Amino acid sequence: MARAPLFLAREGYRRRRLADMARLLPVLGAALFLVPALDAEDGLGAGMLIYLFIAWFWLILASAFVSSRLVRAAPREPAEPSGEAP
Protein backbone atom coordinates (compact mmCIF):
# COMPACT_ATOMS: atom_id res chain seq x y z
CA MET A 1 0.00 0.00 0.00
CA ALA A 2 1.49 3.33 -1.07
CA ARG A 3 1.54 6.03 1.57
CA ALA A 4 0.71 9.64 0.84
CA PRO A 5 3.54 12.11 1.41
CA LEU A 6 3.69 13.39 4.96
CA PHE A 7 4.21 17.04 4.01
CA LEU A 8 2.50 19.24 1.44
CA ALA A 9 4.35 20.95 -1.36
CA ARG A 10 5.76 24.26 -0.20
CA GLU A 11 3.76 26.42 -2.64
CA GLY A 12 0.47 24.71 -1.84
CA TYR A 13 1.13 25.13 1.86
CA ARG A 14 1.91 28.84 1.48
CA ARG A 15 -1.18 29.39 -0.66
CA ARG A 16 -3.38 27.76 1.98
CA ARG A 17 -1.84 29.81 4.78
CA LEU A 18 -2.39 33.01 2.76
CA ALA A 19 -6.03 32.03 2.22
CA ASP A 20 -6.34 31.42 5.97
CA MET A 21 -4.86 34.85 6.62
CA ALA A 22 -7.35 36.41 4.19
CA ARG A 23 -10.20 34.73 6.08
CA LEU A 24 -8.83 35.97 9.40
CA LEU A 25 -8.54 39.65 8.41
CA PRO A 26 -12.27 40.47 8.85
CA VAL A 27 -12.22 38.90 12.32
CA LEU A 28 -9.12 40.91 13.20
CA GLY A 29 -10.77 44.05 11.86
CA ALA A 30 -13.90 43.49 13.93
CA ALA A 31 -11.80 42.95 17.03
CA LEU A 32 -9.78 46.12 16.37
CA PHE A 33 -12.91 48.19 15.76
CA LEU A 34 -14.58 46.91 18.93
CA VAL A 35 -11.67 47.95 21.17
CA PRO A 36 -13.02 51.54 21.47
CA ALA A 37 -16.33 50.10 22.67
CA LEU A 38 -14.53 48.80 25.76
CA ASP A 39 -13.71 52.38 26.75
CA ALA A 40 -16.91 54.04 25.53
CA GLU A 41 -18.01 55.59 28.83
CA ASP A 42 -17.01 59.09 27.63
CA GLY A 43 -18.01 58.54 24.01
CA LEU A 44 -15.64 58.53 21.06
CA GLY A 45 -12.96 61.12 21.62
CA ALA A 46 -10.39 62.36 19.17
CA GLY A 47 -7.88 59.74 20.28
CA MET A 48 -10.30 56.90 19.61
CA LEU A 49 -11.16 58.29 16.19
CA ILE A 50 -7.47 58.47 15.33
CA TYR A 51 -7.08 54.88 16.56
CA LEU A 52 -9.97 53.73 14.33
CA PHE A 53 -8.48 55.49 11.32
CA ILE A 54 -5.05 53.93 11.90
CA ALA A 55 -6.58 50.45 12.41
CA TRP A 56 -8.60 50.88 9.21
CA PHE A 57 -5.49 52.00 7.29
CA TRP A 58 -3.41 48.99 8.48
CA LEU A 59 -6.24 46.61 7.60
CA ILE A 60 -6.28 48.03 4.06
CA LEU A 61 -2.52 47.56 3.76
CA ALA A 62 -2.71 44.02 5.17
CA SER A 63 -5.49 43.02 2.79
CA ALA A 64 -3.61 44.52 -0.18
CA PHE A 65 -0.50 42.57 0.81
CA VAL A 66 -2.38 39.29 1.26
CA SER A 67 -4.34 39.67 -1.99
CA SER A 68 -1.22 40.48 -4.00
CA ARG A 69 0.56 37.43 -2.55
CA LEU A 70 -2.48 35.25 -3.28
CA VAL A 71 -2.53 36.36 -6.91
CA ARG A 72 1.16 35.54 -7.27
CA ALA A 73 0.74 32.19 -5.51
CA ALA A 74 -2.18 31.13 -7.71
CA PRO A 75 -1.44 27.94 -9.63
CA ARG A 76 -0.49 28.53 -13.23
CA GLU A 77 -2.88 27.05 -15.76
CA PRO A 78 -1.48 25.48 -18.92
CA ALA A 79 -1.79 27.52 -22.10
CA GLU A 80 -4.74 26.81 -24.35
CA PRO A 81 -3.93 24.74 -27.41
CA SER A 82 -3.88 26.88 -30.52
CA GLY A 83 -6.01 24.42 -32.48
CA GLU A 84 -3.31 23.83 -35.07
CA ALA A 85 -2.55 20.23 -36.02
CA PRO A 86 1.04 19.16 -35.38
What is the tens place of the pLDDT at every residue in 14-39? 888 888 999 999 999 999 999 887 87
Residue 66 counted as domain residue? yes
Residue 15 counted as domain residue? yes
- Cα gap 12→21, rounded to integer Å: 14
Residue 27 counted as domain residue? yes
Question: Domain containing 20: what range?
Answer: 10-73
Question: What is the reported pTM?
Answer: 0.67
Distances (CA, A) of 9 to 16, 56, 68, 75: 11, 34, 20, 12
Sign of the CA dihedral running 79, 83, 84, 86: positive
pLDDT for 47 equals: 85
Q: Helix H segments across 39-81?
A: 46-73
Residue 85 counted as domain residue? no
Residue 32 counted as domain residue? yes
What's the number of domains the chain is made of?
A: 1
CA-wise closest residue to 12 among 66, 82, 75: 75
Average pLDDT, the chain: 81
